[in-house]
Amino acid sequence: MPPVIEAHGLTKRYGSLTAVDAVDFTIDAGECYGFLGPNGAGKTSTVKMIHCSSPITAGDLRVFDLDVREQPRSIKQRIGVCQQEDTLDPDFSVRKNLTVFGRYFGIPARQAGERSRELLEFIGLWERRDARIRELSGGLKRRLAIARALVNEPDLLILDEPTTGLDPQSRHQVWDRVRTLRRQGKTILLTTHYMDEAQTLCDRLVIMDHGRILVEGPPADLVRTRVGREVVEVWGFPPALVAHVREQGWSFEADTHRLWIYTDSGEDVFEAIARRFPSEGCTVRMAGLEDLFLKLTGRELRE
């Protein structure tokens, strides 16, 4: 089976600004694939080219084995998009937002009605079907936008920062729905700047910064191979500690107040430090994506 998305040298420029800089990636059917990166990394620009609402500047991009330059309409029919910004229609009720959207895809009214009911039940909004959009909380709006993205029964669901600005309860509800869709076999492309979100949802991900892909792979593998198993975090340390860490050849990052040492044997490092150096605090924890991100995008003390 060909990949759902295949990008080679994919580039997006706005005037002199290169927002997406010759990236390569492949997304297979049934996976939840993440684009993780800070604001301005180029995530939205990338997904807009995928759902054919922004032309590519250079490179190649195939979606469902079709060229985005040649068959944008066929591609759009098979994609559901939940945009980063709220695009729900404030003049319509919850239910009507879905049925009207169904009509855009040429779905007959009766079928759109049934589909809307299923989707509203799926996201737990059936009881609120007659509510106005302005009566909904941010979390409910986002869930409705996800439901709307599913109206055309897409083969690929694109979620652009689905939980930005949501409270923890709403974030977990969105994650739960995404997991259910993933289990149903849908291919999902997700962008986020939340490390925990990427780690918990994505089978594979890229970390993107300044339009470039820095690393790609399953999150746990990336952390294990590029950071190590554990992180020893030290606050309020003397300069001699930095010298010691360098002497030992330990991999580390530091800013003014904190130092992170990446290691497979956290307890040993912890003890070595606690024994020799006074500090405000020192802990050992499991390494995570945030450590990888810091390591890649850098905040280390440089001489």
Ligand X SMILES: Nc1ncnc2c1ncn2[C@@H]1O[C@H](COP(=O)(O)OP(=O)(O)O)[C@@H](O)[C@H]1O
Q: Report the residue number, 81 or 232, with the smaller CB distance to ligand X.
A: 81
Contact criterion met (CB below 8 Å) for 205 and 198: yes
Interacting residue with ligand X among 21, 27, 31, 45 (CB under 6 A)? 45
Span of 38-46, 114-122, 219-227, 275-283 interacting with ligand X by CB under 6 A: 38-46
**16 scored as a contact of ligand X (CB under 6 A):** no
> How far is the C-alpha of 13 from the C-alpha of 55, rounded, in Å?
10
Q: Report the residue number, 160 or 230, with the smaller CB distance to ligand X.
A: 160
Contact criterion met (CB below 8 Å) for 190 and 80: no
**40 scored as a contact of ligand X (CB under 6 A):** yes
Extract the tokens encoding 218: 């399953």
Interacting residue with Mg ion among 18, 44, 97, 163 (CB under 5 A)? 44
Interacting residue with ligand X among 14, 246, 264, 285 (CB under 6 A)? 14
Give the Cβ contact number of residue 187 at 10 Å.
23
CB under 5 to 8 A by kind: which of Mg ion, ligand X, none does 34 bind?
A: none
**116 scored as a contact of Mg ion (CB under 5 A):** no
CB under 5 to 8 A by kind: which of Mg ion, ligand X, none does 286 bind?
A: none
**220 scored as a contact of ligand X (CB under 6 A):** no
Interacting residue with ligand X among 10, 23, 44, 149 (CB under 6 A)? 44
**192 scored as a contact of Mg ion (CB under 5 A):** no
Least separation in angstroms between residue 49's CB and ligand X is: 10
**37 scored as a contact of ligand X (CB under 6 A):** yes
**39 scored as a contact of ligand X (CB under 6 A):** yes
Give the pairing of strands 5-14 and 204-209. Answer: unpaired
Span of 35-43, 73-81, 241-249, 275-283 interacting with Mg ion by CB under 5 A: 35-43
Least separation in angstroms between residue 252's CB and Mg ion is: 31
Q: Which run of H or of E encompasses 290?
A: helix 289-297
> How far is the C-alpha of 20 from the C-alpha of 57, rounded, in Å?
9
Nearest Cα neighbor of 227 from 271, 290, 302, 284 is: 290
**80 scored as a contact of ligand X (CB under 6 A):** no
Question: CB under 8 Å to 158, separation ≥6 — which residues?
Answer: 47, 50, 51, 79, 80, 81, 82, 149, 188, 189, 190
Span of 9-17, 39-47, 53-61, 250-258 interacting with Mg ion by CB under 5 A: 39-47
Least separation in angstroms between residue 2's CB and ligand X is: 26
5-14, strands of its sheet edge to edge: 17-27, 5-14, 58-63, 66-67
Give the Cβ contact number of residue 17 at 10 Å.
10
* Secondary structure class of 55 (helix, strand, coil): coil
> How far is the C-alpha of 122 from the C-alpha of 58, rounded, in Å?
39
Interacting residue with ligand X among 4, 41, 50, 261 (CB under 6 A)? 41
**54 scored as a contact of Mg ion (CB under 5 A):** no
Q: Using CA atoms in the order 124, 129, 132, 137, what is the torsion angle rounded to 10 degrees?
A: -10
Q: Which run of H or of E encompasses 278?
A: none
Interacting residue with ligand X among 25, 34, 36, 42 (CB under 6 A)? 42
Residues lying near ligand X in the complex (CB under 6 A) are found at: 14, 17, 19, 37, 39-45
